[in-house]
Amino acid sequence: MRTHVMELRAGDRLKEDTFNRAGLHVLPKGTLIKTEEIALLIRQSIDYVDIEPRDGSGAAESAEVAGSQGFSQRLQENFDKTIQGFQAIFLEALTTGKFNQSMVDEKLLPTLEALDERKNVTSLLYMLGNDDLNIYNHSLQVGLLSYYIATWLGYSREECHEISKAGYLHDIGKSRVRQSIKNKSESDLQGEELEEMKRHTNYGYDIIRDSIKDNQTIALAALQHHEYEDGSGYPLGIGKGEIHPYSQIVAVANTYVDMTTNTRQPHDSLLTVLRKVYELGFGKLNEKAVQALTQNLLPNFIGKRVQLSNGEIATIVYNNPTDIFKPLVKVDDFFRDLSRERDIEIEEIFFE
């Protein structure tokens, strides 16, 4: 079945060997088409290829989409319930100075089990872009992203759950910070107010240590999630070798979520945020955790519609390996290589 390259679908299979106009072999017969293969064909100026008959793949594709939508809905429901649970945990910490550990597991584990069922990063990205930001929403987002980073780094299922719990509870110390200070962004705080906000890391360490006596690593994440490997963080100003691995992961997740959900300034695109976090991986944030984040999030942007800085709406079709933050995009019936058109940026990514 002769098909234009822009009509190819993921899952199509080449019926014949494919050559470019110079006669060079590009893809062999039997190649399973994915986004990367489509981008390769485009770069080689190949317009048409022969593929095997699809034989009802459209119905299978529709079923897959429906299943994905159902999963996203269930995940969102769990997400909302877990946020409500954290409100209760936060209030208990505010009034008693500690919380019930079993309540944390009861509220967080159903969401983690849903993620274990199908690690749907696109659904997570959509929820990470939620503008309805408060400390409860923020804490769950950091917990879930910490879970993903730990998974990508190869931690065991049990360790991933512990790291997610550390992210979920990393800001519990803010329950002791005055509400008037919590209502401000850290960049707006000065003097004594800034010092009190910074003490939320120590408060969190104490609250978690008093609440979860058999696991001090979760308390360390609350204490150390604002520490930097170059020693410029707080509260202790410790360096790379002194920051616990769980804390390093939570710090990366917290930085990413902070940048994507800052309501006090215009949003950067997720791609721009990811680039900023990537740059922090050279000296401030843990390099391995940052690499895990970028290498696993970037492929999920392929196929997404984006707003370009020149006003055009485009679709990401390929991540340039030599410049991972400047992809190849399709605008109507032509393509732009943003690694060459340096003045054009992606301003927004749409997760419909």
Where exactly are the structural domains of the chain?
Answer: 2-55, 67-298, 302-349
For residue 60, the model assigns a pLDDT of 45
pLDDT mean across residues, the chain: 85
Listed range (60-64, 207-211, 256-260, 319-323) with the worst mean pLDDT: 60-64
Amino acid found at 286: N
pLDDT over 90 at 168, yes or no: yes
CATH of 67-298, one of 1.20.1540.10, 1.10.3210.10, 3.90.1150.10, 3.30.930.10: 1.10.3210.10
- The residues pairing with 13 across neighbouring beta strands, listed in sequence order, are 32
For residue 279, the model assigns a pLDDT of 96
Q: What would the DSSP string read from start to end of 228-278?
A: -TTS--SSS---GGGS-HHHHHHHHHHHHHHHHS-TTSPPPPHHHHHHHHH
Burial class for 264, CB neighbours closer than 10 Å (0-12, 13-18, 19+): exposed
pLDDT over 90 at 111, yes or no: no
pLDDT over 60 at 239, yes or no: yes
Of the two residues 282 and 133, the one the predictor is more confident about is 282
Nearest CA to 297 among 152, 138, 157?
A: 152
The model's pTM: 0.78
pLDDT over 80 at 27, yes or no: yes
pLDDT digits (tens, 9 = 90+) for 279-323: 999 999 999 999 999 988 888 788 888 999 999 999 999 888 888
pLDDT over 80 at 130, yes or no: no
In this structure, are residues 260 and 267 in contact, taking their beta carbons and an 8 Å threshold? yes
Element holding 70 (H helix, E strand): helix 57-96
Provide the CATH number for the domain formed by 2-55 in this structure: 3.90.105.10
The band of 352, judged by pLDDT with boundaries at 50, 70 and 90, is low
In this structure, are residues 233 and 227 in contact, taking their beta carbons and an 8 Å threshold? yes
